[in-house]
Each structure stands twice: as structure tokens, then as C-alpha cells.
Amino acid sequence: MFYLLGSIVNSLGILPVIAVVILFVMVANLKKRVKNLELNSSARPSVPTEQPAVQADIPSDMQTQDQQLKPDVPQALAPADVPSVISKPSVAGNVFHWIREEWLFKLGALLLLLGFGWFVNTNNWLGPMGSTLLGVFVGTVLLILGAWRIKNDLHQGNIFLVLGSTVILITVYAARNLHGLFTPLTALGLSFLSTAFVAFVSVKRKSIGLAVAALILAALAPLLVGGSGGGYVELFTYLTVVILGVIWVVILTGWRPLTLLALIMVGFHSLPVLTTYSIATKSTILLFIYGLASLFYIFNTIGLLKIKDRSTKADVITAALNGMLLLVWILAAAQKEWQSLIIIAWMLVFAFGAFMIFKKTNKKDALYIYTGIGTAMLAAATTVELDGAVLTIAYTIESAVISLIMFSAMKNHITGQKYSLLLLGPILFAFNDIERFDRSRTVFNEYFFSILVLALCLFAVGFAYRYFGRNFARKGFFGKLYIGQIILGSAYIYILLWHSLQNSFDNRSTAAMVAIVIYTIIGLITNIYGKLMHQKVFLFYGGTMLVLVVMRLLLVDIGQMDQGRRIMTFFFIGFLLIAAAFGTKKKQISNNLEN
């Protein structure tokens, strides 16, 4: 057997063998699923509704006493009332169970497949044309046999159908690539017909495992029959037809995971074009990608609108992958001058889908996915058009606006604060802008405004959630995130003030002295306000600022300032601290006397 397998690998290549293994594993649990469905759909045994009659020889007073003493215990429990704990078997257990069940039948099918792989490769018996015709004929017979056998035995029928379609695929592969008998379009057409028949039977017999096998066969067919003369226009035309067939199957059956598998198939066949082919080929295929992305978007959105209770994982993942695939293709294949406009157009499409889905179904997971895709597209369009500090400014404004829009639309400050995490990108970008601002030796430049816009946006978001979100519960990380946003915004203001003074004064010691005095005044004001108004946040904020100022003076500035500036700074800061402490104490005493 291993010798035959090695011969097939050497003659046909590794792909057909891999295809065979994948297909047989994909139908591994079909029979077990059918049995479970039969058990679930079978009629449950009836439960007697009347209590058994009491024996006549027992006095009635004793019956009454006995009933009072006994607790209310049901006489019988239906199987449905008994909680059952069913542990799911492991993957290895499923594979072992499938191999053990009718193992002779599966072994015979595998040997038959290997034999046909060897047969269609030889020219000694019937020649290339004869072996090809015989292979197609036998595959067709196996398909018909599987369609007949599936009526009585779903397991054996599925194996016959997959075996027949695989025999046709291997035969067409050998005829096309080894003997040159078919054109790529003809070979692809024969392969599509065999897999379409398998899909048709899967719909008729309601076998999702068989439908998955048919889709995998359809995905492998271009690899087996493409050869060196296959064009990518023909390939993506074929993929479009397959996607339409998948949509038809999902409409009839409701097997939504097939849509996700179909999208993965498109992404799999897109990789060679994206990595190796010219921009002209990519631009042509981009038109197919637009069409396929539109099909997935429309069908997925309609599905999300129809499912009222909750979104399936397959729908959510399909939406995310569809947006990612589309964005990658636009950035790789679209003309540079049109990329931003194309991305913005698709962003509006996904934003409209998010709005419609949430308005009709109130599904937050679908809303997050669609708005996330739209946000990613907006960021990509911004990156295409801008760079440097201007890019940081654009990212900052976009992130803040998206957060506030989601807060306004959802009427939920937690949701809005989750979207405010988009500001993490501009916050990280700002470190580079701060360094460049320090080296510029000027004040009002693009880096100044980049840091200023970031600080103002942090203030705007923080105060918006502080005041407009006061009617909501302030619980958890996102409930109190506005405090951190306001503090972080003030920190960027202090950084901006420090570097602006450093760039304004010729002597940096003088700039540091002025900045430290301003920091001290701000810290005192906020600390006194927090102490008098019993606001712990302001009290802690002001105290932290004063501690940092003193640490800066003792650890850094004491060695950098000259004697005069050092004396003036320490005298002035010390006087401010003593005066503030004295004034605050006096105010507290007067308040206590009034009370």
C-alpha cells in the first residue's frame, strides 16, 4: 500500500494525495451526526398523567396521614426531564471512531482511489485517451451509485459520492497536466460539474458534511487542473460561479458556515496573485474582488438582518475577513491616486451596514465588526493620503469623533469609551512628534499642533463622558476611563508647555524655572480645590504634581541651574507651598467655626 502511495505521489504530485486525505477526514463524523439527529427527532415516551389508584383495603384516614407524611415526589420522570451530561469526544476520539466504523468499506475505497490514480497515469494499457474516458466513466458511475446508496445509508453514500468526484478530479488532472488532452476551461468545467452534483445531493439529503466536502473539492479543482496555461481571469470567473452556488445552497439550507469557507477559498486563491503577479494582472482581478466582496457583504448583511436573536460566529467572522481581504486588495492593486477614495466609499458601505443591522436587530457584535472594518478603512485611507504630524492629527480627530458618534448613537458611555481606545494609536505616534518638536527649536510648527490637538481631543472625550455620561453607572475600567483621559490630556499640555518654553528661551535653565513655577501653581490650585471641596481626584492630582515638582528640583534642576536661578526658584516655590498650606488651614478653621 505504501509503495502504491509513493508511486502516486511521484507520478501525480502531492496535491491529489493531500486532497484525498482532507476529503476523507471531512466526512469523518457524518454517520454519528445522523444518529444524533435521529435520536433527537424521535418521539419521546409519554409520561403517565394520572396517579395510580389507592388500594381499597387501606382506610381513608391512613391514606390521608400517609400522604401528609410523604414529600411531593413525582411518580415518574420522562427522559426529557432527566438532565443528561454528555461529554464531547476529543478530535482523536472522533477520528478513531470514524476509522473503526465500517473500516473495511473505507479501506476498500482508499485502495480503489489509489488504484485509479495509478491507472490514469499509465499509457501502457488503453493509452491517454482510453484511460481518461474510463476514469471519467467510473467516476460518474460512482457518483450515481452514491446518489442511490445515500437513500438507505448516508455514510456509505457520502463516501461513494466523494470517491466518484475525486476520481474525476484526478482523471482530469492527469489528462490535463500529464497528457495535454483538455484545455484549462474544459478541465475546470468537468471538475465543477462533478462537485456541483455532490453539492446538489448534499442539499437534497440535508448533509452539511457532504456540502463541505463538495466545497473543498471545488477549491482544489483549480490547483489540479490549472496547469501552466490557466489564466487568472478564468480562475476568478470559476470562483464567482462557485460562490453563487454556495449562496444558493445556504439560502436553501441555512448552512451559514459554508459562506465562511467560500470566503477562505477566495483568499487562498488570491495569495499567488497578490505575491507574484504584476500590477496589471492585479488590477484586472481587483474587479472580480469588488464583485465577490459585494456578494459576501450583501448576503451576510441580509443574513444578519434575518436572524433576529443573535449573530452566528460564522457571520461575524465572514464580515471581518471580507473587509480585510477587500482592504488588502485595494492597497495592493488599486491605483495610488484612487486608493483613498475607493477605501472611503467602501467604508461608507460598511458603516451603512452597521447602522442598518443595529437599528433592525440591536446586535452589538455585528455593529462592532462592521464599524471596526469601517474604522480600519478610514485609517488606511488616511495613511494613504497623509504622513508625519499631519497623519497624527488626522488619526486623533478621527478616533475622537468615532468614539463620540458611537456614544451618541448607542446612548451608552461604555460602548463609546471602548471606541475611544482608538486614541492609543495617536498617543503612541505623539512620542515621535514630541522628540521632533524638541529638536525643531521653534514653537509653532506642525509638531506643536499635533501634540495640542491630541491633548484637546483627550480633554474633549474625557469631559464629554464626565458630564454627558453622568446618568450612567460609573463601574469598571471603561466607566472611569474619562478620569485617565483628562489627566493624560493635561500631561500632554504640560509636555507642550515645557518644550515650547525650551524652544523660546536661549537659556534652558530659565525655561525650566518658568515651567516649574507654572506647574507648582497649577498643582497648588487643584490640591487646594480638592481639599476644600472634598474631591479626592483633584486632591490626589494636585499633590502628585507638587511631589513631582519637588523631585525634579532636588534630583535634576539643583545641578543644572546656576546659583542665582536656583536660589530664586527654591525661594519662590517654598513660599508658594507655605502660603498655600497656611491659607488652606485658615480656611478649614473658619469653616469649622461656622459649622
Q: Is 167 exposed, middle or buried (0-12, 13-18, 19+ CB in 10 A)?
A: buried
**Of 504, 529, 558, which one is at a domain's C-terminal end?**
504
Q: Is the pLDDT of residue 74 over 50?
A: no
Q: Is residue 47, in this structure, part of any structural domain at all?
A: no
| One domain, residues 556 and 454 | no
Q: Let me know whether 499 and 396 are in one domain.
A: yes
Is the pLDDT score of 12 beyond 60? no
Q: How many degrees, rounded to 5, is the angle at CA 120 between CA 119 and CA 122? A: 70
* Percent of the chain residues past pLDDT 90, beyond the cut: 16
* Same domain membership, residue 217 and residue 128: yes
In a domain, residue 102? The reply is yes
Based on the domain organization, do 119 and 211 belong to the same domain? Answer: yes
Q: Does a structural domain hold residue 53?
A: no
In a domain, 46, yes or no: no
Q: Are residues 432 and 550 in the same domain?
A: no
Across 287-298, average pLDDT: 93
Contacts 24+ apart (CB under 8 A), 506-512: 509/557, 509/560, 509/561, 509/562, 509/565, 510/565, 512/557, 512/560, 512/561
Specify whether the CB–CB gap between 126 and 177 falls below 8 A.
no
For residue 563, name the pLDDT band (cuts at 50, 70, 90): confident
Mark which of 349, 365, 384 sits at the end of a domain: 384
Distance CA 442, CA 67 (A): 96
- Cell reading at 107: 479501506
Which stretch of 162-171, 398-407, 454-463 has the lowest confidence by average pLDDT?
A: 162-171
Residues 460 and 340 in one domain: no
> Is the same domain home to 486 and 519?
no
Q: Are 337 and 387 in contact (CB under 8 A)?
A: no
Measured at the CA of 81, the angle between CA 75 and CA 87, to 5 degrees, comes to 135
Please, which pLDDT band fits residue 1 given cuts at 50, 70 and 90?
Answer: very low
Q: Are residues 2 and 130 in the same domain?
A: yes
Domain end: 384, 407, 429, which one? 384
161 lies in some domain: yes
Q: Which domain holds residue 4?
A: 1-32+98-230
Position 593 pLDDT exceeds 70: no
Comparing C-alpha atoms, which of 546, 550, 553 is closest to residue 509?
Answer: 553
Q: How confident is the model at residue 113 (pLDDT cuts 50, 70, 90)?
A: low
What's the pTM value of the predicted model, to 2 decimals? 0.65
Query: Smallest Cα–Cα separation from 331: which of 346, 315, 312?
Result: 346
Domains of the chain: total: 4
Same domain, 280 and 200: no
The amino acid sitting at 168 is I
Backbone angles phi, psi at 83, to 5 degrees: -65, 130
In this structure, are 554 and 595 located in the same domain? yes
Report the alpha-carbon distance of residue 128 to residue 130 in Å, rounded. Answer: 6
Burial of 100 (0-12, 13-18, 19+ CB in 10 A): exposed
**Residue 194 and residue 129 share a domain:** yes
Q: Tell me which residue of 401, 460, 459, 451 sits closest to 427, measured CA to CA.
A: 451
Centroid of chain to Cα 452: 34
